[in-house]
Amino acid sequence: MSSQAATWESTAEKKTVVPKKAAASVKLVDKAADLVIRAGGLLIIGAVFAIMFFLIKECVPLFMPAKSEIVFTKPWPGLTGEQKPLFVGIDNNQAVAYALDAGSKSLILANAYTWQPILQVPIPALAASEITASYRVPYEDEFFAGTQDGKVLAAKMPVETTYGADNAPSYLADVLERFFVQVGQDPVRLVHGRVRESNVYVAAVLESASGQSVFSVIAPDGEEPVVEPVQGQWDGVIRQVLMDDEGSKLLVLTDKGTIYHYFLDNDRTKPFAVYEAKEGRRPTAIEWVIGDASMLVGFSDGSLEHWLQVRKKSTDVMRAYVKSYDFDSLKGAVTAIVPSSHTRGFVAASDGGSVHVGFTTSERTLLKLQAPAPVEALVYGAKNTAVLAYDKNKNATIWTVENPHPETTFKTLFSKVWYEGFDQPEFAWQSSSGSDSFEAKYSLTPLIVGTVKGAFYGLLFAVPMAIFAALYTSQFMHWKNRAIVKPTVEIMAACPSVVVGFLAGLWLAPLLESVTVSVLLMVFVIPTVVLALFMCWSRVPQYYRDKVPHGMELVILVPAVIVGFMISNALGPVVEDIFFQANFKQWVFNVFGEQMEQRNCIVIGLAMGFAVIPIIFTISEDALTNVPRHFVSGSLALGASRWQTATRVILPTASPGIFSAVMIGFGRAVGETMIVLMATGNTPIMSMSPFNGMRTLSANIAVEIPEAPVGSTHYRVLFLAAVVLFMMTFAVNTAAEIVRQRLREKYQAV
């Protein structure tokens, strides 16, 4: 021991200072490199986490519960008379509250924050009559009033707030008469209506000694209103009428809880459908949801339902109502329902003083507020951030409401939702449209399905191709050819995916459409021709075979592939004639009931396959090449053929690597954007069918993020789509890594 130590020392001394110095600098460089690498690694992990954090931060508000605060409960300033106001409202800026005062026959305006009276706007038309009915359109500055002497007034009441130099508000309010028409001789008891693009549609109920009569008052485009009666046998006193914004649907609710559903265009003498109340539970309040297609129905026991129109047959034009959603019950009978002016949200109130804020399609009761007394009138602020309830004690209570994303829940994002116009709940992604009453549909499920579908068909094509190519290249190909083939395939990966997508969408898709059968035939014909060729080749005498230089067997493959291609092309129309009734598209439609689209999964498979083949090929080839040679020798020495060796020893040993190659390919395919954007139809459908296209998460984000206003639900849902995409790739990669480790343990090569 000691002698050895001595020699160590002596050699160190002999070599003097130089090696020591070198060692110090080497150590320094080593340390620096270690530090840099460590820092780089941490930076990458940090960056990934930061991205994830940012994405999640943008989506979290989607799932935040609604918040609310009571502002005050005060009597309405400046109201005269004993009667309650005929209606109450808040202007579009949520700055001014107004009420129609039956006593002074004027609009009384108050500052919604300070509750100071602002203005009183008299309504001259009504000066001479007693107001007996009124209705304010919840999302326009429009109202209707009915009088004791049988007249109906339709008027607009613009309220404007302007801010002066000292930031002091000044107000402008007016009442502009649209029409004031004599409907009958009896007092008007109920009035309801809609204004759409200067068409006015009103329904009025007149009360006489002999009974009650319903009229429609329709004034198209500023013309003179036409008054027509609506006939019917009503089973009780009419409590409410609803007129839709096309002047066609009319609902009549009686105090027995029966709802009569008319289509006036079709038949004004009898209802199209009658919905009768169930025992002990009758509707007490009804109102359209924005769009006037579906409606909310409040009941005497405080329950609240959403009803949708559903077709019985796909050819039906007129559709009856069917209950679609249930909301939390209110205390006491429902007395008022007000829809939101721009979403499918609503506020409902009861004579027990409950005030509920909800959202129809997400089936959510967002807030449960309590007013001090039974509620008689309700307002939902135009921005959906304020609720005003006017109660029996003649007090107005104002709440602020904070709930920017009422329409999203896990259910609406991932599950089936029953939207207006649908005959049953469905998965739907439809994020934008021109009109305000359009409801955005944000189900991510079709996009997730589309993503998986695109990746699946891409891999269906790419995996066999890439793995067989890798097997051939690594095990059978002459090394000189391998040196060319491998880099060439890798160069494929450098082809920008936008080019691949462009070619696939604009050139390949129309081309394939006409020769689908031939292309499908190629899958079988080309391998058959190649195999046949190899059979023939093995029969060729060794003498001639030896003459072909090593590695040139590839050259004879080229004509084989061309011949296979030509055979498929020639055979295609024949096969189509015989087996597919001369028209493959038609045949697909007949057999599968699906329209074959031009941009279908064959195109996607080819284009996506082209994008992922290089990576799967490269990694698989490396894995196969890295199988130790001594396994090959061991197998061959036992009398195995090269094919047996390849399939029984090399493939299983390389399986962890091949598996991760496929998974990395899957990850690429899932994240691939440009190809799917250009080569698919981008239709967000729920179908794994190979005959149509898809819309993937990534393409969807790319298409829609420029048009989504920052902070909107749409914007946040797109971020959620990004999170889902992130999680999908994360899950796939993690699963892949775990499986790979397992396989590796099993097949570890020494």
Residues lying near other proteins in the complex (CB under 8 A):
479, 542, 628, 630-641, 644, 648-649, 652-653, 746-750
Cα 458–Cα 463–Cα 465 angle in degrees, nearest 5: 105
Task: Name which of 331 and 478 has its Cβ closer to other proteins.
Answer: 478
Nearer to other proteins, 529 or 649 (CB): 649
196: nearest Cα among 535, 445, 371, 435: 435
Compare residues 537 and 747 and give the one whose CB is closer to other proteins. Answer: 747
Q: How far is the CB of 659 from other proteins (least distance, A)?
A: 15
Sequential DSSP letters for 424-481 = S-B--EE---S-TT---EE-SHHHHHHHHHHHHHHHHHHHHHHHHHHHIIIIIS-HHH
Collect all residues with Cβ–Cβ distance below 8 Å to 224 and sequence separation of at least 6: 179
Q: Which is nearer to other proteins, 491 or 749 (CB)?
A: 749
Q: How far is the CB of 647 from other proteins (least distance, A)?
A: 10
Q: Which is nearer to other proteins, 256 or 478 (CB)?
A: 478
- Measure the CA–CA gap between 730 and 495, rounded to whole angstroms: 25
Q: Which residues pair with residue 98 across a beta bridge?
A: 89, 109
Q: For other proteins, which is the closer residue by CB, 236 or 634?
A: 634
- Beta carbon of residue 677, minimum distance to other proteins (angstroms, whole number): 43
When the beta carbons of 644 and 733 are compared against other proteins, the nearer one is 644
Output 285 or 649, the one with its CB closest to other proteins.
Answer: 649
Contacts from 535-543 at CB under 8 Å and sequence distance 24+?
A: none
How far is Cα 655 from Cα 640, in angstroms, rounded to an integer? Answer: 20
Nearer residue to other proteins within complex by CB, 4 or 542: 542
| Cα separation values, 2 from 5, 8, 12, 175, 421, Å | 5, 10, 15, 112, 94
SS3 (DSSP) at 339 = strand
Contact 661, 639 (CB under 8 A): no
Shortest spacing between CB 623 and other proteins, in angstroms: 13
CB of 705 to other proteins, least distance (A): 48
CA–CA gap between residue 237 and residue 251 (Å, rounded): 14
Q: How far is the CB of 627 from other proteins (least distance, A)?
A: 9
Take residue 347 and report the two structure tokens written for it: 């506020």
Shortest separation between residue 737's beta carbon and other proteins, angstroms: 20
Residue 648 beta carbon to other proteins: minimum distance, rounded to whole angstroms:
7
Of 521 and 646, the one with the shorter C-beta distance to other proteins is 646
Cα 14 to Cα 7, 10, 729, distances in angstroms: 10, 6, 59
Nearer to other proteins, 218 or 627 (CB): 627
Q: How far is the CB of 553 from other proteins (least distance, A)?
A: 16
Q: How far is CA 274 from the centre of its chain?
A: 35
CB of 733 to other proteins, least distance (A): 25
Closest of 353, 250, 372 to residue 302, by C-alpha: 353
Residue 658 C-beta: closest distance to other proteins, Å:
14
Buried b (16+ CB within 10 A) or exposed e, 724-744: bbbebbeebeeebeeebeebe
HEC sequence for 516-560:
HHHHHHHHHHHHHHHHHHHHHHHHCCHHHHHHCCCCCHHHHHHHH
Query: Could you give the 3-state DSSP secondary structure of residue 201?
Result: strand
Nearest residue to 469 via CA among 486, 491, 456: 486
- In angstroms, the Cα distances linking 378 to 89, 97, 166, 187 are 8, 12, 33, 25
Distance CA 280, CA 303 (A): 12
Q: Is 225 exposed, middle or buried (0-12, 13-18, 19+ CB in 10 A)?
A: buried
Inter-residue contact 660 to 736 (CB < 8 Å): yes
Q: Is 447 helix (H, G, I), strand (E, B) or coil?
A: helix
Beta carbon of residue 470, minimum distance to other proteins (angstroms, whole number) = 19
| CB closer to other proteins out of 45 and 638 | 638
Nearer to other proteins, 555 or 749 (CB): 749
**Nearest distance, CB of residue 657 and other proteins, angstroms:** 13
Report, in Å, the least distance between residue 472 CB and other proteins.
Answer: 17
Q: What share of the chain is helix, strand, coil (3-state, %, to 5)?
A: 40, 25, 30
Distance CA 461, CA 665 (A): 12
Shortest approach of other proteins to residue 547 CB, angstroms? Answer: 15
Q: Which helix (H) or strand (E) holds 306?
A: strand 304-310
In angstroms, the CA 254 to CA 239 distance is: 5
C-alpha distances out from residue 630 to 201, 475, 619, 635, Å: 89, 14, 21, 8
Nearer to other proteins, 528 or 641 (CB): 641
Is the CB of 434 or the CB of 541 nearer to other proteins?
Answer: 541
Q: What minimum distance in Å lies between the beta carbon of 481 and other proteins?
A: 13
- How many C-beta atoms surround the C-beta of residue 397 within 10 A? 22
Nearer to other proteins, 57 or 648 (CB): 648
Residue where the block lists tokens 């195109």? 603
